[in-house]
Amino acid sequence: MIAKTLLTSLCLLLALVASAQQNKATDKIDTNKGPLTIQPVLHGTVVMNWNGKTIYVDPYGGAEAFAGIAAPDLILITDIHGDHLDMKTMSAINTSKATLVVPQAVADMLPDSLKQKAIVLANNKHTEQLGIAIAAIPMYNLPEDAESRHPKGRGNGYVLEIGGKNIYLSGDTEDIPEMLALRNIDVAFVCMNLPYTMDVDQAASAVLAFKPKTVYPYHYRGQEGLSDVEAFKKKVNAGDKNIDVRLRNWYPEKQR
C-alpha cells in the first residue's frame, strides 16, 4: 500500500514537473549576436533572453509565474492596467539590477524605488538600453473618444531591435494606422481580446497588412474567455502562407 502511494505521488510529481517545463518552453530566433529566446509566461507577459541579458515584458502573475526564470536586466511596461503594471508581481520579483522602460502614466504610478530605475518614453520616441534599440509605438482603441479604455498617448507598444531582428510588442491596441505602417518586423506579438483590443478578424487583417515573418497571438483572454487563436492562424495563413503563426500556451490551466 505504501509503495503504491509513493508511486502515485511520484507520478503526480513528474506530471507537475512536465507541466511546468511545458509552460516554461522557449522558442529561439537566430540573431547576429547569438540566439534570442522567447518564453511565453502569462496573458501579455513575455520573457526574452539575449546576449546574456533577460528582458521582461509586462510582468504579471506573481512570483510563481517566474519560477526558474533569471531576474530581469530590462523591464518593459506598456500600460497602467493591472495586467501590465502589476505592482504585486513587481514587488515579488528581483528588480535589483533592472532598468525599466515605461510611458509617463506608468512612471507616475511607480514607487520611488522603481521610479529611479525608469526611463520614460513617450510615443514615437527612442532609447537604447543594453545594446537594444527601443522605439515606443502608439497603442490605443478606435474610435478615439472619451470612452476609450486605451486613449492614444497613454501607453506604449514597442519595437525592439535585437541583434539585427525587429521585435514588435503590440500592447493593448486595435488595428491602428501606426501598426499597419510597420515594416520589416521579424517577430510580432499581437493582442486580440474583446472588448479591450481587437477581435480575431481585426488582428488577422492587421498582420496581413504589415507582414511580420513570425507572429505570436498573445493577450487573448477577454470577457468571453479565450479568443479563437486557431481561427486567427487559419485566416492569416489563408492570406499569406509564409507568415509563421506560432500558437503557444499563454494560459497555464491553474491560472486561467
Summarised one tens digit per residue, pLDDT across range 25-84 is 799 999 999 999 999 999 999 999 999 999 999 999 999 999 999 999 999 999 999 999
Domain edges within the chain: 27-247
Specify the pTM: 0.89
Architecture of domain 27-247: 4-Layer Sandwich (3.60)
CA-based nearest residue to 77, from 105, 42, 39: 105
> Does residue 144 have a pLDDT over 60?
yes
User: pLDDT tens-digit profile of 209-228?
Assistant: 999 999 999 999 998 899 99
> Does residue 93 have a pLDDT over 90?
yes
> Is 190:216 a contact under the CB 8 Å cutoff?
yes
Predicted local distance difference test score (pLDDT) of residue 25: 78
Highest mean predicted confidence (pLDDT) among 22-31, 95-104, 142-151: 95-104
Predicted local distance difference test score (pLDDT) of residue 24: 60
CA distance 236 to 253: 27
DSSP annotation of 64 reads: G
